[in-house]
Structure 1
Amino acid sequence: MRKNQATIKQLNNAPELKEHHTLALSDYSLHYVEAIPSHSESNHSLDKESLVFVHGTPGSWEGFAQYFLDEELKQDFYVYSMDRPGWGGSTYPNSRFPSDLAAQSALIGPMLESIWRANDEEKVILVGHSLGGSLVPKLAADYPHLVKGIVILAGDLDPALAEARWFNKLFDWLPDFILPAMWRHSNDEVMAIQPSLAEAQYLFSQLDLPIVIVQGKKDGLVRPGSAVKAPNIFTSADLDVVFLEEANHIIHLTHAEEVKKAIYRLKAKF
């Protein structure tokens, strides 16, 4: 995580490597960041897909900062990273925080459409980590005209294995003023995962697009058994499941090369 902070600092000191975008909607805004190649090649070619990273909870686009420095990835993809509604530079409507997957998905749609339109209306690839990994199949189900394939990194998928931990239940019981807003909202999202996944299981079973799942076997936050059950969840998808023997939960930070391999593995399916 210290290394990622140094990478974020490096990016911030080189504004030519990224471009910030903000969609101002009627009652909320969406912020996402685009990686700009540092070589002379045009950033728009006919054979490149858009790659959109989706962070977990808590989090922001910065969780994927190191991928903005990967020249091979930027050569082959348009690389984006979003702030989900309520996180980073994205806001949400003046109502209850959108903690469940359906609410997040409903708000993210305009961002995906903006990226889709910017790149010749080519469908996007979504890469989600943790809660973002649970969210990307919901986004694919809700926006099949915008999403081409998904990579799930350490995401809860099976509601039977997504029960909140004791400390999440404790935080949920505490009065709102006890916890800072960031941790309260994060805990709300964790508490909403199980019912959100239960509601989405039929939609997941109908997904007929390529999916690659990467799961660390030493993950202490998302139960690895969820990935084991993935073939029974995504019954209509072209599915690959990759287990990393020594990896913990933050594989997007600690195992970037394996994440890249998963992205190219997905690309090869098209």
Structure 2
Amino acid sequence: MMRYKLFFLFFVTSIFCCQSGDEKYIRDLQISYRDISAGYFGADQKLFLVHSSCKEFPKEIVVFVHGSPGSWRDYKKFILDETLRNKYCLVTLDRPGFGNSMVDMSMPDIEKQADLIYEAMQDFRRQFSKLKEGTVFVGHSYGGPIIASIAKTRSSKFDQFIFISSPIDPSLEEIRWYNRIASYSLIRFLLSKEMNHSNEEMMPLREQLSGLVKDWKSQAKQFIVLHGDHDMLVPIENVKFFKNLLILGNKLTKTIVIEDENHFIPWTQHDLVVKSIMELEN
């Protein structure tokens, strides 16, 4: 029965996942939050970013990276959170192939996406020159391996990373039955571009995770791992792998396992995520 519920969720999401009208949506937010703005940042391939509270006194950046599928709106509640706004410059983005970022193009490669996000944030820093050194990267689900790639190849000693419901152990990653169904030509025709892109991201993930964790090292200052013990999409056993991997790099690491919690922590545990960000070392 659970299989059919998952497939129904997968199919319904495909119909509604393409979010339109962002320009009006952001204008409506600006009525109450005048410092919210949006734009395209990066080098040759630019990503769509929405940011808030970045123009006041110098602050560190928090960057939220959504899962698959997803969009910048997944973190809307966080960029409006007054506790976070008082301390941080808050940035949420559309990953390549989703929302307003190259939606016609599929990029099922965590390293390439990590590079584009890093380039977008470098461009963002150039335009907001008063920001403090150091970035907090928050990744949910598929966003976790992407920020892990940044941690491995692009991080500095000032950067910190929070992984939420994220896969990291290659041995736990598998192509699910609904991924195979979604790969059929007829089903692809029925699905939205974003759902097709999402399915394409899942297919090579196991191999890409193997490359990611091989010869692991990172310059980052701190890591936090949040995971629900009832996560039906990303097994809880990933937490142990995360812990062993990060301790191997001799980095400050904190893991939080949430009892009776599922995969959707950014929506169900907003206060805990905010608390975790606020407790990071400055």
Smaller-chain TM-score range?
0.7 to 0.9
Do residues 23 (structure 1) and 41 (structure 2) align? yes
Identity of aligned residues (%): 26
Q: 1:159 to 1:77 in 2, by over 3 A?
A: same
Partner in structure 1 of residue 209 of structure 2: 197
Structure 1 position 86, deviation (Å): 1.5
Q: 1:44 to 1:164 in 2, by over 3 A?
A: farther
Partner in structure 1 of residue 140 of structure 2: 129
Structure 1 position 72, deviation (Å): 1.2
Distance 1:103 1:198 in 2: 16
Deviates more, 1:132-141 or 1:211-220: 132-141
Partner in structure 1 of residue 53 of structure 2: 36
Partner in structure 2 of residue 67 of structure 1: 78
Structure 2 SS opposite 1:50: strand
Query: In 1, are the aligned partners of 2:62 and 2:91 still within 8 Å (CA)?
Result: yes
Do residues 102 (structure 1) and 102 (structure 2) align? no
Partner in structure 2 of residue 255 of structure 1: 269
Structure 1 position 192, deviation (Å): 2.2
Give the AA of the match of 1:112: M
Query: In 2, are the aligned partners of 1:154 and 1:216 still within 8 Å (CA)?
Result: yes
Query: In 1, are the aligned partners of 2:42 and 2:120 still within 8 Å (CA)?
Result: no
Once the two structures are superposed, the pairs formed by residues 116-265 of structure 1 within 5 Å of their partners are 116-117=125-126, 118=128, 119-120=130-131, 122-145=133-156, 148-174=159-185, 176-203=188-215, 205-209=216-220, 210-234=222-246, 235-236=248-249, 237-265=251-279
State the TM-score, normalizing by the size of structure 1: 0.84
Distance 1:33 1:231 in 2: 32
Query: In 2, are the aligned partners of 1:116 and 1:123 still within 8 Å (CA)?
Result: no
Residues 134-181 of structure 1: CA distance to partner in whole angstroms, max 9, x if unpaired?
A: 211101222124960100010001011121221112223445434321
Q: 1:115 to 1:19 in 2, by over 3 A?
A: same
Structure 2 portions without partners, runs of 5+: 1-12, 14-18
Give the AA of the match of 1:190: M
Structure 1 portions without partners, runs of 5+: none
Query: In 1, are the aligned partners of 2:49 and 2:92 still within 8 Å (CA)?
Result: yes
Distance 2:198 2:138 in 1: 20
Query: In 2, are the aligned partners of 1:219 and 1:249 still within 8 Å (CA)?
Result: yes
Q: What is the alpha-carbon root mean square deviation over aligned residues?
A: 2.6
Distance 2:230 2:39 in 1: 36
Structure 2 SS opposite 1:218: coil
Query: In 1, are the aligned partners of 2:125 and 2:131 still within 8 Å (CA)?
Result: yes
Distance 2:219 2:47 in 1: 28
Structure 1 SS opposite 2:95: coil
Q: 1:152 to 1:263 in 2, by over 3 A?
A: same
Structure 1 position 58, deviation (Å): 0.7
Give the AA of the match of 2:196: R
Structure 1 position 108, deviation (Å): 2.1
Deviates more, 1:165-174 or 1:250-259: 165-174
